[in-house]
Amino acid sequence: MTKYPTGVECHGGSLRLWFIYKGKRFRENLGVPDTPKNRKRAGELRSAVCYSIKTGSFNYAEQFPESPNLIKFGGARIDVSLGEMVNKWLSLKSMELTKNALNRYTSYMNVCCQIMGFDTNLRTITNESLLAYRKELLTGFQFLGKYQKNRSAKKGRTVPTVNAYMACLGGMMKFAHDNRYIDINPMGSISPLKKARACPDPLTREEFQRIMAVSPCEQITNLWELAVYTGMRHGEICALAWEDIDTEKWTIRVTRNMAVSNHFTPPKTESGVREILLTQPAIAALKKQMPLTRMSRQHLVKVHLREKDKAREDFCTFVFSPRISSRNGQGGEWYSPGSINGAWNRMLRKAGVRHRKAYESRHTYACWSLGAGANPNFIAQQMGHASSQMIYNVYGKWMSENSVDQIGLLNARFTSYAPSMPQSNAS
């Protein structure tokens, strides 16, 4: 039986070397079976490694390019493809993302891999290729050469969408750089594209009345009236239960949201957990809805909390249920945001109202409230913002355009409530 040369050993049926480098013992698995012939060759390799270490010519990355020990010396790890790195990053990132966010990230990175190539070596991606990728997202036309074979031109994406794609890709590239899969982060010098601040496009009262006049059923009318007169997010309305409503004080306690169909979560932010004080139109909408669903069956639903793998269970009698308005009575027990958005678009077309995104119902509430003279801090609390700063940032231009009402208010106040002036002492 051939003896093992110095520094050669058997590990799990294959040969492994050990040697001293920079004062520490390192082991490298050769991945070859333990045979007398291989033992001899391993001994020769080990002698060559020790000699190069002694003479100062040893290069760990060149000698063992796939070694996990490379990270200890600041060297890059084994080459990986773009697709492999995407899968690795998303699997680790999933621990801190909501289901909705993870779905978005996965979609963004799938598009990236389709354009740049799943099998592309991550270390060959340059700043230029990333700029080309961004240009294709923006314009939709082919120009990435070998990555674009047999692909037809597509409509480009908006600047905010492109920035979201690039931010996601930038997060993955930073992860790869931090963990030394790549030596240089090619995203380092790429800045987001400049974009114009989006302005709210609220409905006028006349437009809203026209939309409600073509509503397909009373429940849909009640749903959109509640949306416009409370400013609630659509996922919050889909998850709203009668157990959340105080019908004596007429308030709504918002504790649930639904960003992904049939997946209940807490509201979007911590400040989203709030109590909404209802206006008379909102109360009227709920009173009309009460005979339709208040006595419906109660459901036990799982609410996935922000902490990973934590959940609570809520008993819910849903305020809006597609089952009661479906033609065959076979609808679900609660709406999803996508389904009510579809109803919104159909009503806009039928009413002949200029198209707006369904989210404008929330902007409509804010603008109507500001126009009525409501305090921005109160509006922010009602809508679930952390502070009124969001109100000023989003609706600042709209507020300035309606300053004439404020001038009239000041004139009335200054005339009726002129403060008394201090009197000077007579000498």
Q: Which residues are catalytic?
A: 233, 268, 362, 385, 395
Handedness of CA 275, 277, 281, 284 (dihedral sign): positive
The Cα 178–Cα 188 span in angstroms is: 12
74: left (phi over 0), alpha (psi -120 to 50) or beta: left
Tokens of 178: 């931090």
Q: Using CA atoms, how far apart are residues 97 and 306, in angstroms rounded to an integer?
A: 9
Contact 213, 206 (CB under 8 A): no
